[in-house]
Structure 1
Amino acid sequence: MPDSHRPNTNPHGLAHARELQGHLSWLDSFSGAALAVLATASGIYTYLGVSSLLDDTGALSFFAAAAYSIAVSVGIFVFWSYLMRLLPAMRTAAAKLKLMGAMVLGSFAIIAMSSWLNAAALAGAAAVEQHLARTVQDYQEALEQAHDTAVSAQALQRDVARVRQSFEDLSEQEAAGDLSGLAGRGAVFRVLRQKAEELAALEAQIAAQTELIESAFDEGNVILSRMRALIVEPGAVEARSVAFSEDAVRLAGLVTTLRQLSVAPLVDRAAEDLSASVVLPELDASGAAGQDAQASTITSVLQVLALRAESLEEAAEQVLARPAPPEVTYTPISSADAVILYARNFVPSWAGAIAIDLLPAVLVLILMVTQGAIRAGRGDLPAEDTLTLAELRSALHAMREMEALDRADQVQVEQAGAPVLPREAQGENISPLPNPPARSND
């Protein structure tokens, strides 16, 4: 045979290909069992994940969860069995890309129907506890913010007291005759005392809120402590979630109460009314000069009153401008939803849940690389040149059996006196020759 038509007969590559083929034959002996174990394990965790989603615990729910997990196990086993057999056998790049696209699509389907449920079974309770802890943190921030706003409003009591004291001092000066020049408790004195009494009433109302605010804040901290204890308490997380939700309702009510106890709106309205609602008394001086002095003093008092009211209103508006406490509402959540919502906190669990389903993809890629190496080692040798000694012995044994059958058929036909045809001519050859010649009895 010319060298240009001689097939590739690299002995080292052929030996390597035979070695790899032997390894694959040994690995095939337990690959199916290993794949079945992986599929069964995924099905078990899928069953646990589905069970956590079902509210009913009766027989119907059990059979529903079992049916779903069995379907997942069978689907995973069949899907990867197909790919482990077909993808390594593909010889063209186009066929490999198409099957790899199918593998990617099937992997997404497996994650959607199984992996997230596996993650729920692995870390569902911890994810629900994470949700409870995040809710406690939100409630604590809302409680502290509402308390800070209420305490800041209580600080307006000092501003109110300062304004009240200024009007009392002015009234004392008027009584002594140092303000309008008319000693006694006349019209100017009554205007000043009127506003001082209004501010005193507002100051007393603010002071009465202090005890209520501290009481609500202390009760809220007690509830928060109880909620934190429920998070770390042993036992089923579902039962703890029920008690947690009851405390969350009480705490939300306390946050609303603290918001309502803030006196900033009250002080703001009082500051607006301070200068707008002035009851002017009748001027009671004996002479015209005295009445003019009273009128002039009252006008000055009203100007001072307007300035004091403006400063008090600004202080109240600063408190009102503080951000309102966030509206926090506890929403019960299932373990499957919790592992999705807090997926970043449970990356190892997600990795394990996905790996148990997609680990066979690595085996498929290993098989594909190995089969490619085997083909490269064999080169373009014909099939008969790549036979191993065991395969050659099997082929010779089969040929001897065929010859023995031919001789037995010939003897039987000769005894019957009929012409004998070879077995190939009798239709037993897969690729018979055209017009096979008949054999004689001689």
Structure 2
Amino acid sequence: MSEAVTARRLKDHAASLQTMTRFVLATLALASGVYTYLGVRSLLDGSAGIVFFAAIVYSAAVSVGIYGFWTYLMRFLPEMRDGASRLALVAVMAVGSVMIVAMSSWLNAAALAGSAAVEQHLAETLEGYTSDLEQAHSNALGALSLLPDIQRAGERFARLADEERSSGALTGTSGAGSVVQLLSQMGAQMRELEANIRGSQDLVGTLFREGQEHLAAMRGLVSAPGAIAPRSDSFAEQAVALAGVVSALQQTSIAPSVARAAADLSGGFIAPVADGSSADLAGRQDQVMATIRASVDAQSKALSDAAAEILAQPRVVERRYVPLSSAEAVLRYAGDFIPSWAGAISIDLLPGVLVAMLGVVQGSIRRGEERMADADRITAADMFRSIELHEALLARGRPERQPPVPMSEPGTTETAKEAPPAAPRAASAENVTPLALSERKRQEP
């Protein structure tokens, strides 16, 4: 008896929740349509009127489709009694859910997290440009690390020239001879190379400061409030300008010039002819100039190796900023916006939970009704209807009553014969056929 009571209560609850079920479906379909409109509007191009009309039509179609799809499933799936039909409808529900995600859920996610996804795209692009600027600046400043070595070499050549001129420290004879001339020549080349490096240092610093200004403007655009579309356009302008600065930094690197100058030190070495007044002095001058040549070769090799190491550093790959719409950004950075995706999909697929609940409830109702007696399945309305049908059948079995005999006219001699009363037909219990009480038609949820 408890199962019968439970089945009856579940049936009553399912009937009372029909209005609420329709309201829930309509609300979810409307919410999905609104967010679909916001998402699809960012993908359409054209005039404002065309975009508005197209977005409204698409979102309305999505809302109606979602409402109709889940309504059909709520009607049919709980009624399936065999496993094959139930599995077939479950497969249909799975296919329909995938289609709903394809036509609506990703646009809902774009409406929920599109601006945040575009901002993340701008932030990651900004990090890339920051890294490019720092690497280009580092490559450009790499030649500056050679400046101390070049300064020491130039000072050493100048000091040796002064010592040879004043005291003859190298040849033993003071004076401005061929050795002093050679040392002065090497010192002048080193000072010229040093001046070139210092000149490039100022240009590199100017370009780096300009690049930092562009980066500061881009950071402000990433974190600024307001619509994302105009900020993305301004960000693109700053990105183009910054790319030009990075390219200029790579072209102003002094490392190739240092490598060529180092090669010229050794390859372009021109030793003057010994001008000593005696053969002994000329011999000493030749020995000193050979030593100077060996020193110049060593200095040239050191500078060439250092310049080659700087040139071997990886060059900055040209970066191009590609603007993304909110829908494209949500798809690219989907892993970073899982809560937004979950909410967007849940709006569309939540009715599937209601379908499952109705299926469980209807299954419980059917199991309870199978164990109920026939009398437990009859309602008061069914009983009254059965009584009415029974009385109608009994009325058909009774004979029709004869009309009354008319009264005779005054003065008539003949006396009307009264008709004998018709014997009532007794209705025995044996002539009554019991009616089979039909099961009450179950109300559909």
State whether TM-score is above 0.5.
Answer: yes
Q: 1:87 to 1:74 in 2, by over 3 A?
A: same
Task: State which of 164, 167, 175 in structure 1 corresponds to 2:157.
Answer: 167
Structure 2 gap ranges (5+): 401-445
Task: State which of 104, 109, 113 in structure 2 corresponds to 1:114.
Answer: 104
Q: 1:85 to 1:230 in 2, by over 3 A?
A: same
CA distance in 2, matches of 1:191, 1:132: 59
In the TM superposition, 1:218-297 aligns within 5 A as: 218-297=209-288
Deviations 1:70-92 (A, max 9, x none): 22112111211122122222223
CA distance in 2, matches of 1:402, 1:158: 123
Q: 1:306 deviation in Å?
A: 1.6
Preserved CA contact (<8 Å) 1:156 1:264: no
CA distance in 2, matches of 1:57, 1:399: 69
CA distance in 2, matches of 1:222, 1:378: 79
Preserved CA contact (<8 Å) 2:182 2:271: yes
Q: 1:389 deviation in Å?
A: 1.9
- 1:211 and 2:207 equivalent? no
Q: 1:259 deviation in Å?
A: 2.1
Relative to total residues, which structure has the larger helix share, 1 or 2? 1
Q: Which residue of 2 aligns with 1:35?
A: 25
For normalisation by structure 1, the TM-score amounts to 0.82
Preserved CA contact (<8 Å) 1:127 1:335: yes
Q: Which residue of 1 aligns with 2:86?
A: 96
Q: 1:399 deviation in Å?
A: 3.0
Deviations 1:63-113 (A, max 9, x none): 222221122112111211122122222223333222222222211111111
Q: 1:381 deviation in Å?
A: 5.5
In the TM superposition, 1:1-400 aligns within 5 A as: 11-175=1-165, 176-379=167-370, 384=374, 387-390=377-380, 392-393=382-383, 395-396=385-386, 399=389
Q: 1:228 deviation in Å?
A: 1.9
Q: Secondary structure of 1:301's match? A: helix
CA distance in 2, matches of 1:179, 1:257: 46
CA distance in 2, matches of 1:60, 1:84: 36
Q: Secondary structure of 2:46's match? A: coil
Preserved CA contact (<8 Å) 1:154 1:262: no
Q: Secondary structure of 1:73's match? A: helix
The one-letter amino acid of 2:328's match is D
Q: Secondary structure of 2:323's match? A: coil
- What do you get for the CA RMSD once the two structures are aligned? 2.5
Q: 1:118 deviation in Å?
A: 0.8
Deviations 1:380-419 (A, max 9, x none): 668x455242453364267369659x849x98xxxxxxxx
Q: 1:398 to 1:208 in 2, by over 3 A?
A: farther
Preserved CA contact (<8 Å) 1:46 1:69: yes
Residue identity over aligned pairs, in percent, reads: 45
Q: Which residue of 2 aligns with 1:3?
A: none
CA distance in 1, matches of 2:177, 2:69: 101
Q: Secondary structure of 1:37's match? A: helix
CA distance in 1, matches of 2:51, 2:392: 61
Q: Secondary structure of 1:122's match? A: helix
CA distance in 2, matches of 1:260, 1:172: 38
Q: Secondary structure of 1:284's match? A: coil
Deviations 1:269-325 (A, max 9, x none): 222222121123233233443333333222221211121122222333343344434
Q: 1:53 to 1:180 in 2, by over 3 A?
A: same
Q: 1:177 deviation in Å?
A: 2.0
Q: 1:360 deviation in Å?
A: 0.6
Q: 1:390 to 1:262 in 2, by over 3 A?
A: farther
The one-letter amino acid of 1:203's match is E
Deviations 1:111-139 (A, max 9, x none): 11101111111221222222222222222
Q: 1:265 to 1:388 in 2, by over 3 A?
A: farther
CA distance in 1, matches of 2:388, 2:13: 26
Of structures 1 and 2, the larger Rg is shown by 2
Q: Secondary structure of 2:42's match? A: helix
Preserved CA contact (<8 Å) 2:4 2:372: no
The one-letter amino acid of 1:21's match is K
Q: Secondary structure of 1:257's match? A: helix
Shifted more, 275-284 versus 173-182: the winner is 173-182
Q: 1:103 to 1:277 in 2, by over 3 A?
A: same
Deviations 1:143-189 (A, max 9, x none): 22222333333222112111212222232343332213343333333
Q: Which residue of 2 aligns with 1:435?
A: none
CA distance in 1, matches of 2:346, 2:339: 10
CA distance in 2, matches of 1:391, 1:294: 135
CA distance in 1, matches of 2:387, 2:102: 53
Q: 1:357 deviation in Å?
A: 0.3
For normalisation by structure 2, the TM-score amounts to 0.82
CA distance in 1, matches of 2:262, 2:381: 106
CA distance in 1, matches of 2:384, 2:283: 137
Shifted more, 146-155 versus 331-340: the winner is 146-155
CA distance in 2, matches of 1:37, 1:241: 34
Q: 1:161 to 1:385 in 2, by over 3 A?
A: farther
The one-letter amino acid of 1:138's match is G
CA distance in 2, matches of 1:218, 1:112: 47
CA distance in 1, matches of 2:93, 2:222: 42
Q: Secondary structure of 1:134's match? A: helix
Q: 1:36 to 1:285 in 2, by over 3 A?
A: same
The one-letter amino acid of 2:12's match is G
